[in-house]
Amino acid sequence: MSADVFEKCFGFHAVDDLKQTGFYPYFHRVESEQGPEIIVDGSKKIVVCSNNYLGLANHPKVIESSILAAKNYGTSCTGSRFLNGTNDLHEKVERKFAKFVGKEDAILFTTGHHSNLGAISCLVGKSEVVVTDRLDHASIIDGCRLSFGEMVRFRHNDMKDLKRQLARYKGKGILIVVDGVFSMEGDITNLPEISKLAKKYGARLFVDEAHSLGVLGEKGTGTGEYFNMQDDVDVVMATASKSLASIGGFIASNSKVINYIKHNARSMIFTASLPPACVGAIDAALDLIVAEPERRAKLMQMASKMKKEFKAMGYNVNNSQSPIIPLTVGNDLVAFKMWRMLFDEGIFASPVVTPAVPEGQSIIRTSYMSTHTDNHLDFILDKFKKVGKHLGVIA
Ligand SMILES: Cc1ncc(COP(=O)(O)O)c(C=O)c1O
């Protein structure tokens, strides 16, 4: 008898087993807009797992701009950017984004994932090398896998290891790709050292600013601005699904590089372009990031308050340097139980378990938005204290 590719599906019981325990934390139904308070499965929760860092996902100006775009351009572009799917709104936000991050040109993909997939895979050719941080986002890994080059990983933010890897491939075309802020860990890439090494070994530097755009730097441009070295970043990637309150992904660089990506990135050429309503939202959100820096300042103040309070309670906040604060809680079961207890106490959080983290080091990833109030933060702290103590995560 021949093998059946469905066999693995029929034998896939882990999720059903977890559901039986009542600890299954995924695919819960949000029945409201995405703010600091949401309705999940019929009841109100305070959110600590959103990437809506600046709270723009329900801002009236963003909604208005999105509606206007749909009214003017319809609901879909019905095709690829390459063919019939480019409109003047796409080009407007590309110019705006390029100017914002200080690059010559930019291109807008349909998602952040598509941006990494398309840009990395077409920039790294046969006999070239892509060097990534071991904790880079999955979309970066996917982009590397789709390229014809060799993929090499260095230990997380370990500059000695990066140097060792670069030395191995000296003389080859090399692209270094790092997250600006690491999505699960909340720490910042060591851009000054990476840039030094990139120059020494003639490598190009690509920074994924998914969690740093709108958040880091005085203007909110991201990691490059934070270290005052934006010119040293050859390619800036950012997703529109976090601070930009929409969906979509940007790649910005010099115009020759963008022109090449535009004509070679398969995830741009072979997928339909971003719908007008989403582009309209990005347009307004980019203006608000520039016009309202106080959102960023408040976000960073809140993040440092939360870090201080969690530490005082006895939580391990790891090396968080951003509004992403991961709390190490123990094994997967503890993380699932903690998620459930927090949920029952009115908190919507995210557990991160193996294989995304090493065995025994599962986390509850918390993240903040500038629209959380002091009352929200106190409520969150109170519940984490209660549940953490109950489970023996803190003393
Ligand atoms: C670091 C990083 N890069 C890329 C992406 C992909 O972005 P999107 O969700 O817009 O596809 C994400 C999203 O989670 C991310 O965290």
Ligand 1 midpoint to CA 1 (Å):
42
Ligand 1 centroid to Cα of residue 171, in Å, is 31
Contact 325, 48 (CB under 8 A): no
Is residue 189 lining ligand 1, measured as CB closer than 6 Å?
no
Residue 329: what pLDDT?
A: 96
Residues 15-54+293-390, CATH architecture:
Alpha-Beta Complex (3.90)
110 alpha carbon – ligand 1 mean position (Å): 12
CATH number of the 58-291 domain: 3.40.640.10
223 lines ligand 1 (CB under 6 A): no
Our answer on whether the CB atom of 111 is closer than 6 Å to any ligand 1 atom is yes
User: Which residues have C-beta within 8 Å of that of residue 312, sequence separation ≥ 6?
Assistant: none
**CA pair distance 30, 52, nearest whole angstrom:** 15
- Expressed in angstroms and rounded, the spacing between residue 111 Cα and the centre of ligand 1 is 8
Q: Is 112 in the pocket of ligand 1 (CB under 6 A)?
A: yes
Q: Where in the chain do CATH 3.40.640.10 domains reside? A: 58-291
- CA 113 to centroid of ligand 1, rounded, Å: 6
Catalytic center residues: 183, 211, 242
Q: Is the CB of 209 under 6 A from ligand 1?
A: no
CATH 3.90.1150.10-classified regions of the chain: 15-54+293-390
Q: Are 356 and 134 in contact (CB under 8 A)?
A: no
**Residue from 34, 51, 53, 113 whose mutation best tests the ligand 1 pocket (most atoms within 8 A of CB):** 113
| Residue with CA at minimum distance from ligand 1 atom 7 | 112
The model's pTM is 0.97
Determine if ligand 1 sits within 6 Å of the CB of residue 241. yes
Per-residue pLDDT of the chain (395 residues; tens, 9 = 90+): 789 999 999 999 999 999 999 999 999 999 999 999 999 999 999 999 999 999 999 999 999 999 999 999 999 999 999 999 999 999 999 999 999 999 999 999 999 999 999 999 999 999 999 999 999 999 999 999 999 999 999 999 999 999 999 999 999 999 999 999 999 999 999 999 999 999 999 999 999 999 999 999 999 999 999 999 999 999 999 999 999 999 999 999 999 999 999 999 999 999 999 999 999 999 999 999 999 999 999 999 999 999 999 999 999 999 999 999 999 999 999 999 999 999 999 999 999 999 888 899 999 999 999 999 999 999 999 999 999 999 999 99
Q: Cα–Cα distance between 149 and 127 in angstroms, integer?
A: 6
Q: Using a 6 Å cutoff on CB, does residue 66 contact ligand 1?
A: no
